[in-house]
Every structure is written in structure tokens, then in C-alpha cells.
Amino acid sequence: MGAKWRKAGIIFVLWLVVISMIIRSIPPIFNTEIEPPTSGLLPYLQQGDMPSFSDNGYKVVVDMKPKVVQRSSEDMVEANDILEIVDSDIQRNSGNDQVAGGDVEDAYHYAKLAHGNPQEVDNWMTLVITLQVLNSSDIPVNVFSEDMTKLMHLIVVDKSLRFFAHVHPIYEGNGIFRAELTVPYGGNYLFVTEFIPDKKGVTVYKQWLNAAGKVMEPIHETLDEVYATTVDGVSFTLSVMPSFKELRAGEMVMLNFHYEDAITGESIELEPFLGTSGHGVIFDMKAEQYVHVHAADGMSSEGNVMFHAEFPKSGLYKVWGQFKYKGKIIIVPYLVEVK
């Protein structure tokens, strides 16, 4: 009898081992509220509304001192370190510290001066910009945290949304940042500063400022019919999920930038840009609605960079995708309609 019990005990233990191994082989079932996933579509669906930007009671006082640089129209066309002119847009792809000084890896990306035939611009205006960050008591802020590898992001557009710049002012202490920015013409420019003061979250301060110089005639945008373009030898195609015709205000959409070598059609590898695969900046045509999104790296794949975005209101919007390839910042602009 004892031998039988020992045999039965051994068999029982073996069954326990087998059952344990089977249980361990079964994929775990997660409660997505307690243990949310970090990649794939679900986390982006669970995010809900896009974060709203606020100045959080802070303000930025800007002082601009112009420095005129004489440029002939011939110089403008030939000097690739100033502008690169293409048929659809005039693209600025910087990366030359000698142009604007300081941290200017993407100092001023592009300006479209006219449809088809670029107008002659004699005076390029370099603005020496000082930005003083103050709290609600008008006291200089001394504590800043990095946001996507930088202490401050400065985004500048003109009223027609033909000029776009994304620069990173250098912090000098006592709440003061400095930068240089070269603009192709005078007039009103919207300055949007993003920073994290006193560990209180991302703060956005917007203000219109006037740059001296010749004001260009306003140029009206037309809706893109083909969402494909080539910039610096890279072919980009924008697609939208659910679709361009179904873009609606207040609803989450996925903006996917597909990229490949423009000549061979083969896949290429983009470089990290400010801590991610790409950045997206979105304005409505009055520059009243502002969205700044980062690549959804968990959803992006080889040859594709995807953004999760939400358009606040209906109307036309300008979308700029920003990427880095072979050390250069590539800016890809599109115009979309939101119902």
C-alpha cells in the first residue's frame, strides 16, 4: 500500500509541474486601466482629448534688435545656406551655425515668397531676440526643465503661414533666453514660446510681434490636391486615418508621413529629432488654433512616422512635419481641411 501511495504522490507532483508550466505559457491578461500598454494603437486611443496649452500665468517679454544683411536676388537663389528654392515651396533647411548663431540646427526652415515666381528680396533681416520669462508677479523665473531635450522651443510663423521657424533659444540665466532668427521680409510674426517653468508643466505663451522691413503682399493658400512632395531627396506622402474627407474637429486622427528615397524608392532611416522620430506643428489659417505633437514612436515603423492629433475647430489648417535626415532638418508642409 505504501508503494502505491508513493507512486500516486509522484504522479500528483508531476501533474502539478505540468499544470504550472502550462499556466506560465499562457500570455498574461492585463487590466488596461491598472497596467496600461505603452505601445500600439490602444494607448493612443486611451489618451482621449489632446492636452490644452496654457500660459499658466507666465509671460514672455520679447525685445528684438534688427540686423540687416544685404542679399541680392542672385545670391538668394545660389546660396543654399540661405534658402533652397523648389517649385512648390521655398524650403529653408538649416544646420549651419554661422547663419544664425548659437543653437540653430533648425534655425529658420522655409519661407515661400510667392506662388510660382519668387519675388526679389533685397534685405534679409536678422533679428537678435531676447526673451525674458516672468511669473504672475512679474518676477524672473530661474527654474526650467527640459522639454524634448530643450529648455525652450520658439516657433515663429507669419500671418500668411508662408514662413515657419522652430528655434531653440539659449538660456543665459535669470529667466533670460537669447536667439537669432533671420526672416525674409517685414511685418507681423506670431511668436509661440514653449517651456516648463518651476516644474509646473508645459507652458505656452503666444504673441504677435512686428519685424521692421518691407512687407510682402499677402498670398492666399489653396487646398492641396495631392499629399505628396519631395524635399532634400526624400519623398513624403501624407495619409490620414480615417481619411481626408472625414477629418472632423474635436476627433482624434492619425497623421502618417510615409517616406522613401525619392530616386530609388528604397527605404531610408531618419535620425532622431529632439528626442523622437519627428515633430508636428499645426496652425489654422488665422494662427489662432495651435497644436504641437510628437511622433507616436510606438506606432511608427520603417518608412512611416505617425502622429496622434486633434484639430480644435473646423477650417483650413497648415501642417508641418519636421524630421532629420543626414544631419539636416527637413520640413514637410501640407494644407488640410477639417469639417
pLDDT digits (tens, 9 = 90+) for 166-206: 999 999 999 999 999 999 888 999 999 999 999 889 999 99
Of 253, 244, 261, 326, nearest in space to 41 by CA:
253
Q: Which of 85-99, 135-149, 295-309 has the lowest mean pLDDT?
A: 85-99
Q: Is the model's pLDDT at 158 over the cut of 90?
A: yes
Among all chains, which residue has been given the C-alpha cell 538649416?
Answer: 94
Average pLDDT over residues 242-251: 92
264-271 contacts, C-beta under 8 A, 24 or more apart: 265/235, 267/302, 267/303, 268/234, 268/303, 268/325, 269/302, 270/305, 270/323, 270/324, 270/325, 271/324, 271/325, 271/326, 271/327
Q: Which of 4-13, 90-99, 126-135 has the lowest mean pLDDT?
A: 90-99
CA distance 293 to 178: 24
Considering only residues 6 and 294, tell me which one the structure prediction assigns the higher pLDDT: 294
Q: Where are the domains of the chain?
A: 59-211, 228-338
Q: Is the model's pLDDT at 82 over the cut of 90?
A: no
Same fold, 59-211 and 228-338: yes
Cβ–Cβ < 8 Å for 179, 212: no
CA distance 317 to 306: 18
Cβ–Cβ < 8 Å for 317, 336: yes
89 SS3 class: coil
Q: How far is CA 239 from CA 293, 297, 304, in A?
A: 16, 17, 10
C-alpha angle 330/168/165, rounded to 5°? 45
Q: What pLDDT score was predicted for residue 19?
A: 52
Between the two ends of the chain, the Cα-to-Cα distance in Å is 82
Q: Is the model's pLDDT at 117 over the cut of 70?
A: no
C-alpha cell at 97: 551655425
Cβ–Cβ < 8 Å for 124, 191: no
CA distance 36 to 48: 14
C-alpha angle 240/54/64, rounded to 5°? 100
- pTM value is 0.72
Instruction: List strand residue ranges (DSSP E) for the chain, in order.
Output: 59-70, 84-85, 90-91, 110-111, 123-134, 144-145, 152-158, 163-167, 170-173, 176-183, 187-197, 203-211, 228-231, 234-241, 252-261, 279-284, 290-294, 304-310, 315-325, 328-338
Which superfamily does CATH assign the domain made up of 59-211 to? Beta-1,3-xylanase, CBM31 domain (2.60.40.2450)
Instruction: List strand residue ranges (DSSP E) for 297-327, in order.
Output: 304-310, 315-325
Q: What pLDDT score was predicted for residue 123?
A: 57
Q: What pLDDT score was predicted for residue 221?
A: 75
Considering only residues 86 and 264, tell me which one the structure prediction assigns the higher pLDDT: 264
CA distance 104 to 181: 9
Give domain 228-338's CATH architecture.
Sandwich (2.60)
23 SS3 class: helix
Around Cβ 118, how many Cβ atoms within 10 Å? 17
Instruction: Please state the φ and ψ torsions of residue 12, each to the nearest 5 degrees.
Output: -60, -45
